[in-house]
Chain A
Amino acid sequence: DSGVTQTPKHLITATGQRVTLRCSPRSGDLSVYWYQQSLDQGLQFLIQYYNGEERAKGNILERFSAQQFPDLHSELNLSSLELGDSALYFCASSVDGGGTYEQYFGPGTRLTVT
């Protein structure tokens, strides 16, 4: 158990809908990362937040947005969902100190868009 929690574990929704995925980082970690993993795209970095502020952006679609709250938990919002958005969504956290940015991954949310 990495100490990173994600909810829900599974989500099934229809095209055009909007969903919110939630992540709580490990205690003491200030950085939260979001990743998308689908069979044909591998592991894709979406976005990173550090202590409430956006720090880095990857291949995140405009239909997707995220935020990190004062208690450091983070939410990833996916809107106007398409079939191609079906994937595993991982959250990871890191402490960002001591010379390493080692990331600890949550169990993931499996999103199925029908």
Chain B
Amino acid sequence: ELKVEQNPLFLSMQEGKNYTIYCNYSTTSDRLYWYRQDPGKSLESLFVLLSNGAVKQEGRLMASLDTKARLSTLHITAAVHDLSATYFCAVDMLNYQLIWGAGTKLIIKP
């Protein structure tokens, strides 16, 4: 059974700091997605990682994928309050399904 584990599940940090969210998964896949969800809102696609070594950056967020380690990271640089949200990773099962992590709730304090 494919498992996707995110950690931490909750993260409170100060503005200006750097931090990393980890997404580990238990079976072979070379496609992984990161989504953002604001409270009570829908999910928004952030990054699509389609191969080993893929790295994508958007503003203060950078995502990477290591398929050999079955690990993806979402790195936050010099955090700002607007990045407060819940972040989900989802692993492509290659059979039309995505398996979702539990989400990391990120709170960034001024």
Contacts and interface: CB of A to CB of B under 8 A. Distances in A.
A56 B100 contact: no
A56 B98 CA distance: 11
A31 interface: yes
Interface string B81-110: 000000010101001111110110000000
A45 interface: yes
Interface residues of A, number: 24
A74 interface: no
Contact of A103 (B45, B50, B95, B99): B45
A58 B97 contact: yes
Interface string B61-72: 000000000000
B44 A101 contact: no
Contacts, number: 54
Contact of A104 (B41, B45, B95, B99): B45
Residue of B40, B42, B44, B45 ringed by the most chain A CB atoms within 10 A: B42
Interface string A74-87: 00000000000000
A58 to B, nearest CB: 7
Interface in A53-112: 55-56, 58, 88, 90, 92, 96, 99-108
Contacts of A103: 33, 45, 90, 98
A24 interface: no
A67 to B, nearest CB: 17
Contacts of A55: 96
Nearest to A108: B42
B92 A101 contact: yes
A102 B100 contact: no
A42 interface: yes
Interface of B: 31, 33, 35, 40-45, 48, 50, 88, 90, 92, 95-100, 102-103
6 tightest A-B CB contacts, nearest first: A105-B43, A105-B42, A43-B100, A107-B42, A56-B97, A42-B102
Given A42-B103, A103-B33, 9 more contacts: A42-B100, A45-B99, A56-B96, A56-B97, A90-B43, A101-B98, A102-B33, A103-B90, A105-B35
